[in-house]
Amino acid sequence: GNSVTQMEGPVTLSEEAFLTINCTYTATGYPSLFWYVQYPGEGLQLLLKATKADDKGSNKGFEATYRKETTSFHLEKGSVQVSDSAVYFCALKEAGTALIFGKGTTLSVSS
């Protein structure tokens, strides 16, 4: 079946550091890929998405590129801020199915 694997956290960075959170997936068809963010005590918010191979999703300085050859969708940001501290979830979805999430990666950014 379909699945998503994310790097284990927590990830601890200083402000303005470069961020990478790795995500790989297994899918039987042609999924869309997503990154969601969950701030403490809140629900999940869509951060970015990509619907086909080689698409790049971007939002708020975060980027991720849909790489079909490596079945990956790594999240990157050039310079993190304290306000980026949250839990980040990689997810995939195929037509007619629900979102399948990775286990989440906790990011902690200190000033």
Interface residues with another protein (CB under 8 A) are 31-32, 34, 36, 38, 42-46, 49, 51, 87, 89, 93-101, 103-104, 106
Q: How many helices and strands in the chain, by DSSP H and E?
A: 0, 12
- Minimal distance in Å, beta carbon 43 to another protein? 4
Distance between CA atoms of residues 45 and 84, nearest Å: 13
Q: What is the smallest separation between the CB atom of 103 and another protein, expressed in angstroms?
A: 5
Minimum gap (Å) between residue 18 Cβ and another protein: 24
How many Cβ atoms from other residues are within 10 Å of residue 7's Cβ? 17
